[in-house]
């Protein structure tokens, strides 16, 4: 992966992580909804919370960066590489929302990081 491809991957991951952050912030503002009785007003509440709109916009930017990445890199490299979103999402949860990271989750994150390194590694 050259520097331009790495930058696209980083942009895609960063935008997706930003999207997750803003969606969580918006969801906290929205409060708990009953999925069974979700009404039109609940959907209207979703589209009026700025954090949710920003989160969706970030996801859109991440998707555009990912599409551009796919024009340059094989899917077998790009797909696993963007799984770093999971790692950064857990870190955001820990540092911003004070969510715990159990040892098993930490082990899983280390597998993801190791896997990405192995996938992008060039001989």
Domain count, the chain: 1
Identify the pLDDT of residue 32: 74
- What percentage of the chain reaches a pLDDT higher than 90? 76
CA 115 to chain centre: 17
C-alpha 97: how far from chain center: 16
Average pLDDT score over the chain: 91
| Mean pLDDT, residues 51-80 | 95
Whether the predicted model's global pTM rises above the 0.75 cut: yes
Three-state SS string over the chain comes to CCHHHHHHHHHHHHHHHHHHHHHHHHHHHHCCCCCCCCCHHHHHHHHCCHHHHHHHHHHHHHHHHHHHHHCCCCHHHHHHHCCHHHHHHHHHHHHCCCCCCCHHHHHHHHHHHHHHHHHHCCC
Over the range 49-86, which residues count as b (16 or more CB within 10 Å of their CB) and which as e?
bebbebbeebbebbeebbebbeeebeeebbeebbebbb
pLDDT score, position 36: 61
Q: Which range of residues forms the domain containing residue 59? A: 3-120
């Amino acid at each position: 992966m050259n520097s331009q491809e790495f930058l696209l991957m980083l942009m895609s991951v960063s935008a997706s992580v930003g999207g997750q952050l803003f969606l969580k912030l918006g969801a906290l503002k929205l409060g708990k909804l009953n999925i069974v009785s979700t009404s039109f007003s609940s959907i209207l509440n979703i589209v009026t919370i700025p954090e949710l709109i920003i989160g969706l916009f970030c996801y859109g930017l991440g998707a555009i960066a990912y599409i551009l990445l796919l024009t340059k890199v094989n899917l077998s490299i790009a797909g696993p590489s963007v799984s770093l979103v999971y790692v950064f999402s857990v870190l955001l949860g820990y540092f911003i929302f004070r969510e715990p990271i159990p040892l098993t989750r930490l082990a899983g994150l280390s597998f993801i990081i190791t896997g990405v390194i192995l996938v992008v590694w060039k001989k």
